[in-house]
Amino acid sequence: MARALSHIHGNPIFHVPYTPIPTRQCPSNLPCRLFKVTMSSNQSYWTSINADIEAHLKQAIPVREPLSVFEPMNHLNLVGGHRDQALPAASALQLMYAASFAHEHLPLTQSCRPKSEIQHLYGPNIELLIGDAMIPFGLELLAVSDDPTQKNSDRVLRVMVEITRAIGSQGMVHGQYYEVEYESSCIRQNERASEKYEGTLHGCVAACGAILGGGSEVEIEKMRRYGVYIGKIQGMIRRDERKSKDLKELVEETRKLATNKLSGFNEAKVEAISKLF
């Protein structure tokens, strides 16, 4: 397995076309190539976060081409706290997302998903194992980040609960269930899948940032709701290729709900975080 895993975390397994594919893309509705995400605005900010995650993953495993980027540091910045505290959580979430991506593109018999367009470097048994290995590895990274001398173990465990819930049957898996069980692409179906998949994931990211940054319970829940709305918007836009009027209205409505959740935070920080999205 070591050989295969060095490739997993090393040479990327999945060659994702640069042009966004309709079934699923890299995080945050961004164009992606080989799990690497770029962004047109705030490039330097994202580049620096990406570099931190790369460094963290490189330290943990031999990496030549690192995995992509995530954004919990934004939320951490919002409530206070340092980026270093969030890196293990961000890296764990990145691996969870990569595992989910790998499994979503497995060639299953009688699959109800459209045929995957990505290029597979390994056989299906190995690609299944790659995803199966990434989930515990991400959580292991988070668990070993605990430093008992800092008396922070309960906070790390809380983040663990957040992540396991977000990636499981109450979150991402639930969203994927909607995708495979319901073929209809009506706006309500789109909304449900987006809220569960991208919404829960972004909500988790935001809540983890707030927890690790020492936010209050009120702040944590506000950040979670903000993340859910933002993720939901991204999911809805990605899933609805027609960009209908109904979609635009729903996005606008959700954006207002998201903004409301930031009330009470320092005004400059709210502006900064809103700009990032």
* Site residues (vs its own copies, CB under 8 A): 1-2, 4-5, 99-100, 103, 106-113, 123-126, 128-129, 131-133, 135-137, 139-140, 143-144, 146, 148, 153-154, 156-158, 160-161, 163-165, 167-169, 173-174, 176-177, 180-181
Least distance (Å) from its own copies to the CB of residue 227?
A: 18
CB of 87 to its own copies, least distance (A): 17
Tell me whether residue 103 or residue 224 sits nearer to its own copies (CB atom): 103
Nearer residue to its own copies within complex by CB, 177 or 277 = 177
C-beta of 17 vs 136, nearer to its own copies: 136
Q: Which is nearer to its own copies, 201 or 247 (CB)?
A: 201
Q: Closest distance between its own copies and the C-beta of residue 226, in Å?
A: 23
For 36, counting Cβ atoms within 10 Å of its Cβ (0-12 exposed, 13-18 middle, 19+ buried), the class is middle
CB of 214 to its own copies, least distance (A): 15
Nearer to its own copies (CB atom), residue 133 or residue 262 = 133
What is d(CA 47, CA 43) in angstroms, rounded to the nearest whole number? 6
Residue closer to its own copies (CB basis): 171 or 226: 171
Least separation in angstroms between residue 183's CB and its own copies is 12
Whose tokens are 């977000």? That residue is 166
Nearer to its own copies, 72 or 258 (CB): 72
For tokens 């069980």, the residue is 181
Contact of 205 with 71, CB cutoff 8 Å: yes
Can you read off the two tokens belonging to residue 58?
């490189």
* Strand-pair category, 32-33 with 36-37: antiparallel
**Intra-chain end-to-end CA distance of the chain, in Å:** 39
Residue 91 Cβ vs its own copies, minimum distance, rounded to whole Å = 14
What are the C-alpha distances in Å from 174 to residues 15, 105, 144? 26, 17, 28
3-state secondary structure of 167: helix
Task: Reduce the DSSP state of residue 36 to 3 states and report it.
Answer: strand
Closest approach, Cβ 141 to its own copies, in A, equals: 9
Distance CA 94, CA 28 (A): 12
Question: Which residues fall within 8 angstroms of residue 106, CB to CB, at 6 or more apart?
Answer: 116, 124, 127, 128, 131
For residue 251, what are the contacts with CB-CB under 8 A and spacing of at least 6? 233, 236, 237
